[in-house]
Amino acid sequence: MINNQIRKHIIFTTTHEDIINKMIDTIPGVNSFSEAVRYAVLSMADMTNQQQQINEMKRKLNSISKNTDILVEMVAGGFHKLDVKAIGRHEESYVYQDALKHTEHDIQIATTKKAGKQPYRQSTSSIFR
């Protein structure tokens, strides 16, 4: 197996022993105290990598959410009522720029602690009614 094993003496409380026994009972492949301790240590090491993956996923979801909000704002802004027939590049459209500005403003309000002090912004969809 492993040539350079390290032996340590560990004192467990009854709570620790209950947790380790539960790990032995519920986790496949964990059949002894030493395997349960190794599993717990390796799980803790993996948590830092998992946290990085979670943070990356949150950034991607925030980006998707922002793009969705922009699209909703554009539709609510009334493309059809503005008589917009075709748009070359959506980034150059004034409707897109306006939607982007409003969406970024809404995101800024939602992410600051001063959200309760900001004045209410009237939705663009109510302007075109």
Instruction: Name the one residue in this structure whose structure tokens are 């969809």.
Output: 125
Split at pLDDT 50, 70, 90, the class of 25 is very high
Give the pLDDT confidence of 27-46 residue by residue, as tens digits: 999 999 888 988 888 887 76
pLDDT for the residue 100:
82
Split at pLDDT 50, 70, 90, the class of 103 is confident
Break the chain into its structural domains and give their ranges. Answer: 14-127
For residues 57 and 120, the model is more confident at 57
pTM (two decimals)? 0.36
Cα–Cα separations (whole angstroms), residue 11 to 14, 15, 17, 23, 24 = 10, 11, 10, 17, 18
Distance from C-alpha of 23 to C-alpha of 32, rounded to nearest angstrom:
9
Split at pLDDT 50, 70, 90, the class of 126 is very low
